[in-house]
Homo-oligomer: A and B are copies of this chain.
Amino acid sequence: MEEYIIQKLIDITGKENAKVTIAQRLAYSYDATANFQAMPDLVLSPANMGEIQQIVKTCSEYRIPIISRGSGTNLAAGTVPNAGGVILLFNRMNRVLDFDEENLTITVQPGVVTQHINELVEPKGLFYPPDPSSMKISTIGGNVSENSGGLRGLKYGVTRDYVKGLSVVLPNGEILKTGGKLTKDVAGYDLTSLFVGSEGTIGVITEITLGLIPTPQTKQTLLVFYDQLETAAQTVSSIIAAKVVPTTLEFMDKGTIENVEDYMKIGLPTDCEAMLLIELDGDMQTVGKEMQLVLKICKEHGAKSTQLAQSEEEALQLSTARRVALSVLARKRPTTILEDATVPRSEIANMVKEIQRIADKYNLMIFTFGHAGDGNLHPTCLTDARDKEEMERVEAAFSEIFDSALRLGGTITGEHGVGEMKAPYLEWKIGESGIEVMKGIKQSIDPLNIMNPGKIFAKDRKQRVVVHS
């Protein structure tokens, strides 16, 4: 990027809101994805939609990439500036614009930290359900761009289910407003849903209207341990088949349990093969009745032991056992690669066994935990990015894991997004015609390809090497 263009861009936000030195820019050269890094030319913190329009128009004029970035917790290299350009930060656009208790909506700027939304609405008896593990630091703008999931997805869905309206600065600098404080709107194509999960590739999101729901009256938390993977997985299906939909229905494998117990020392049995964390919420009486039914189902499927939280503190401790899984595992080796292969709920046991088989085949340390209720698993590989030979095995293993997920009717990514990392695999899921349709949409909205280029769409397709008999 030439100096005069950089200066032109800095003039828009003022130099106090621009990061230009190498040391400053280095901090924005990577996100939470191992093994991806590239330097941005400039990092800007615009104050409002008008400044973003000016930045976008300038970038459009000089064909400069724009990468919108929240807190950089992305796990698919979605915010790594692999073609250089300008990183847009939203740290100055972090205000709540409107909280409407009558229509159960909240309108916010993209820089608001997701957890702050719940802190604001909970005292009013309201609730924003999507809870990605990163919610204490990730921004709502990032969550919307990635269509983030979370632990409550089984009962309450994902980010897209709560986005009712958006303001977007389009690649040509024009403003697009979609949806509104409306429950129903069929005025043309669903642009709101298109922008949710579009990973910054077709516009810069500047305002977000979210739907809220009443807070459930109560919650109960249960841990269940199994000697066999299959019986844990069968429990998951049987609970749903009994018409009980838990808020949370999480899974941890043996290795994850051992590591968590080693760290937390709360008495988790380490001689079992699988653990389920089950949370029910709703009306007090209903939850009580449903929990009895869940306990019965767990026992029928041969649960080794169960632990029902008797207090809020204990409930927190039990759910923390699952929430810390990633950070506990991450301590073991220099590099952690967290994936999110997802399958239909009925295929959970098959998928976990596939992951174990593949880990053995490539001689890798892969532990699995995740959202069993919605089939969204997190096989987590503990490795060392400096070991080239091992990293080749890691890549081969994950290729095979994606392949297995797809053969079981699943997808390559349940909640992390495609980014740069999974772009070579996207065609495996959606086929050549799907890629063509998506590329057509991208080109029609962003013909100069300035919005987060190199994401979602890969330069080269990946061969599906596994031969199926």
Contacts and interface: CB of A to CB of B under 8 A. Distances in A.
Contacts of A97: none
Interface stretch (A259-267, A382-390, A415-423): A415-423
A244 B217 CA distance: 12
B243 A184 contact: no
B444 A414 contact: no
A314 interface: no
B433 A175 contact: yes
Number of copies: 2
A245 B211 CA distance: 13
Given A102-B345, A245-B213, A434-B188, A375 B182 contact: yes
A440 interface: yes
Nearest to A193: B193
A189 B197 CA distance: 7
Given A430-B178, A434-B191, A147 B102 contact: no
Contacts of A215: 243
Interface stretch (A12-20, A31-39, A331-339, A404-412): A404-412
A464 to B, nearest CB: 15
Interface stretch (A83-91, A134-142, A153-161, A291-299): A153-161
* Interface range for A: 35 or more
Contacts of A374: 182-184
Interface string A369-389: 001011110000000000000
B409 A177 contact: no
Interface of A: 100-105, 125-126, 146-147, 149, 153-154, 158, 160-161, 170, 174-178, 180-191, 193-194, 196-198, 213-215, 237, 240-241, 243-245, 282-283, 285-286, 289, 342-346, 371, 373-376, 409-418, 422, 426, 429-434, 436-438, 440-445, 456
Given A158-B184, A177-B430, A184-B376, 8 more contacts: A102-B344, A103-B344, A181-B344, A184-B374, A186-B414, A186-B418, A188-B434, A190-B193
